[in-house]
Amino acid sequence: MKKLGIILILLLAVTAYADEGMWLLTQLDQLKLKEQGLEIPLEAIYSPDKVSLTDAIVWLGGCSSSFVSPDGLILTNHHCAYGALQRASKEGSDYIKNGFLARTRGEEIQAIGSTASVLQEMRDVTDDVLGTAAGITDPVERAKKIDEKIRAMTEKIENGREDILAQVIAMYKGKQYILFVYKRYRDVRIVYAPPASIGKYGGDIDNWMWPRHTGDFTFMRVYQAPDGSGATYSPDNVPVTPKNYLRVARDHLKKGDFTFILGFPGSTNRWRTSNSAGWNLKYNFPETVQNFQEIIDILDETTRDSEEGRIRVASLRSGLANTMKNYQGQIEGMTKTGFLQKKKDFEKELMDFITGDRKLKQKYGDVLDRIRDQYAVLAETKTKDDILGLFGFANGTISSLAGQIWGVAMERAKPASERNPGFNEEAIDRNVANLHYQFYNYFEPADKAMLKRVLTRASALPAGDRLEKLDALLAGASVDAFVEKAYAASKLTDVEFAKTLFKKSPKELKALNDPFINIAAAIYDEQEANGKRTEVFNATIQELRKEYLDALYAWKGAGLYPDANSTLRFTYGHVAGYTPADAVWYEPFTTLKGVVEKNTGVEPFDMPAKLGELYENKDYGTWMHPDLNDVCVGFTHRCDITGGNSGSAVMNARGELIGLAFDGNYEAMTGDWQYDYDMQRTISVNIHYVLFVAEKFGGAGFLLEEMGIN
């Protein structure tokens, strides 16, 4: 990892606070962790050659988790298993609402669509990647060459094996590249999930808020084939025996205790310029909030009288609501703190320094202007691009599926040299084999309403931005009539039929005269043009952002961690409360008493009666916190996390499991853009509450025995 110590990045704050940072595993020796309170050697956390805590950390794709037993048992958040619980549910068996417990291995149910990946190797490949693009000045061609090199490297490592995942990830916006190789297991099963009245207690009302009283956890188990390969589900598969698993802390947390997290944070924007911040504050965040709220309203209205419908859309609705509230918090936080103006003031100081030096001015003097110009180009086609962006995620399962089918056919029809670098027949075959997963979220009334909404918005585009081929397809018909006729006429709702279409040519697809395929064909040219614009913007802005980072380094010369990008990171901090407003102080611990106090008997504060009985009888087992005289439910600490960290293991100074990270606090929603030492907190569920619920409420004491807890 020779370049990790020399490639530096500057955050807005210029120098890191203690407790700040989402650090690469190879940067731990920079952090003076022993002085902060760590009691174990750094190699116990991460070692490329020896067994370490990192070997117990599991990536679930959009969430994090960890092995907690020698028999493949993993622990993650309830909301991370939400989609799997939804897909396993059906009318009369609602595992989200009622929870689930497998008392034997044979009763464990598939976490359909879930995979579990464990890091095997990481190494710097910067020279190999950048060397392939040496001398290329055109940013688009440079980006294509780099993508081709990365694809060749990863395909060679994977060698057709679906249980090996290789990724080459850009750090510092392409100043460095690191290869990550994972063992991927494709048989994950649900073991114990509490009911939503515990696992999602407080619902959207309490989401991102403190004090919090949510038991956000689920146990799952990872299986492999008898030969050790990460095979798909089979009754013959056996539990994985991990290299390492986490041991549970029996000591109780106290204020000021050292904590650390290992997990997979998704993305942050801490080194972005005011242009990016302003674009998101003015356009992206408000429009996403509006879009998501309208879709949520559609889902609620169309499933109001259908239990099947509510189950079908549960995961989609939950994800939309979670992201929407996050963006609402970012808007509020940016506005309240004057974040955008502070960014501009910071950049003025930077440019004053740059222009004061002749060589630096020549090199970086116009970098902010050139970045601003790129956003101006983006704004020119924004009205049309916004509508095109709705096709593919907001237009319903069937219309989205048609877009995939048509896109594959059109890409395959191109000469090989002109195809998207990511086009891969093996990947298409895998997607086709898994196509049925898309239908787990399909509920026709909601699907129709979503498509009607998108087509109505497209029909309202102003002159000059019209989607002319789509207008011709509708031919003056009302959107409602067109959509109703489309669903009555199409065979795409049959998943097996849909699978057969991925091998057909554009001519063969057109001959079907399927209304959804016709929609996809009508907007394809516009989407291609949009894709080209995006390609140019992304390639150009990446090069400019690297220049901006260089300018920052020339000014301050302070190096820190790269922005989050779904790679395994370390973050640390101490248990602490905070002051959210004048004359208000939040303690860092919540208790079972608080669960009872919030109970109204009405969702989302519908505490199970049995939980109330355990509280009334003070039947806490061995899980009572002696200082709180109650079971500790959740706690806040200064660890620095973002989306993707959900389910991450929280450990104490001795590397013992003390909880699961599941949220950040609303008052610090600008944390993806800047770190706030005084305000930003991670919200975690206490491991003792997890075990209390599993043992005393769920009757899953055998899981504690498996974890080595006597």
**Planar angle of CA 62, 205, 669, nearest 5 degrees:** 55
Query: Given this model, what pLDDT does residue 365 score?
Result: 97
**How many CB atoms lie under 10 A from the CB of residue 510?**
15
State the catalytic residue, choosing from 216, 257, 514, 640: 216
Q: From CA 65, how far away is CA 690, in angstroms rounded?
A: 14
How many angstroms from the chain centroid is the CA of residue 475? 40
How large is the angle between the packed helices 479-489 and 444-459, nearest 10 degrees? Answer: 140
Cis peptide before 211 (omega within 30 of 0): yes
Q: From CA 646, how far away is CA 643, in angstroms rounded?
A: 7
Question: Rounded to whole angstroms, what are the CA distances from 11 to 202, 271, 635?
Answer: 35, 5, 27
> Which residues pair with residue 625 across a beta bridge?
630
In sequence order, which residues have a C-beta less than 8 Å from that of residue 204 and are 6 or more positions away?
321, 325, 604
One-letter amino acid identity for 635?
F
Q: Where are the domains of the chain?
A: 25-115+186-269+563-706, 274-553
Query: Given this model, what pLDDT does residue 249 score?
Result: 98
Stretches where the chain sits below pLDDT 70 are 1-18, 558-559
How many angstroms from the chain centroid is the CA of residue 389? 19
pTM exceeds 0.85:
yes
**How many CB atoms lie under 10 A from the CB of residue 12?**
17
Which is nearest to 246 in space by CA: 690, 693, 696, 701?
690
Residues 298, 449 contacting (CB under 8 angstroms): yes
CATH class of 25-115+186-269+563-706: mainly beta
Query: Given this model, what pLDDT does residue 392 score?
Result: 84
Q: From CA 284, how far away is CA 334, in angstroms rounded?
A: 13
State the catalytic residue, choosing from 65, 69, 274, 646: 646
For tokens 């622990």, the residue is 75
**How many CB atoms lie under 10 A from the CB of residue 252?**
17
Residues 682, 294 contacting (CB under 8 angstroms): no
Which is nearest to 203 in space by CA: 184, 216, 187?
216
State the catalytic residue, choosing from 79, 213, 637, 688: 79
One-letter amino acid identity for 3?
K
65 included as an active-site residue: no
Give the tens place of pLDDT for each residue, 672-705.
999 999 999 999 999 999 999 999 999 999 999 9
Query: Given this model, what pLDDT does residue 710 score?
Result: 76
Q: From CA 80, how far away is CA 264, in angstroms rounded?
A: 13
Q: Which two tokens mark 426?
A: 């093996």
What are phi and psi for residue 176, nearest 5 degrees? -145, 150
Q: Please tell me what DSSP assigns to residue 108.
A: -
